[in-house]
Amino acid sequence: MSCRLKFRQLRGTYSIVRLAPDAAIPDWAVKGDFTSVTRTADELSLVCPREEVAKDIDAGPRWICLKLEGAFPFSQTGILRSFLEPMSNNEVPIFAISTYDTDYVLVQEEFAGVALAALQRAGHERAG
């Protein structure tokens, strides 16, 4: 299934941080327009605006965040795959997060141009 999707780039850059699985969720990790907190038995993963990361934490590479526009019903399959495939075919590192309503894809900033061009060639439309 090939879908043509609309997406927009969120403002600023983001960091993806890994903490110990039993670490407390830091206050800085939940500030901003988009954050994600995922705890597993192995780790605590945090995605947040880069400027919010505490100075004593390694913020890692800079990421841009692309938000797919629209809510997608769970019965609609292939949405994320159709968006990721053009980037994968161009060896763009990504980090995908799904929420109840939509998907967010983080792309390392140094690959942003390649990613955006690949998405355009695949027929996806950048909004706003």
Tens digit of pLDDT for each residue in 58-67? 999 999 999 9
pTM (predicted TM-score) = 0.91
Taking residues 62-83, report their average pLDDT. Answer: 83
Which three-class secondary structure state does DSSP give residue 62? coil
C-alpha to C-alpha distance for 68 and 124, rounded to whole angstroms = 10
Q: Where are the domains of the chain?
A: 6-122
**According to the CATH classification, is domain 6-122 in 3.30.2130.10?**
yes
Q: What is the pLDDT of residue 1?
A: 45
pLDDT at 79: 82
d(C-alpha 59, C-alpha 106), whole Å: 14
Please report the pLDDT score of residue 101 as a whole number: 85
Mean pLDDT of 7-15: 97
pLDDT confidence bin for 74, thresholds 50/70/90 = low
Identify the helix (H) or strand (E) that includes residue 39.
strand 36-39
pLDDT in tens, 98-110: 998 889 999 999 9
Q: Please check the confidence at residue 46 and state whether its pLDDT lies above 80.
A: yes
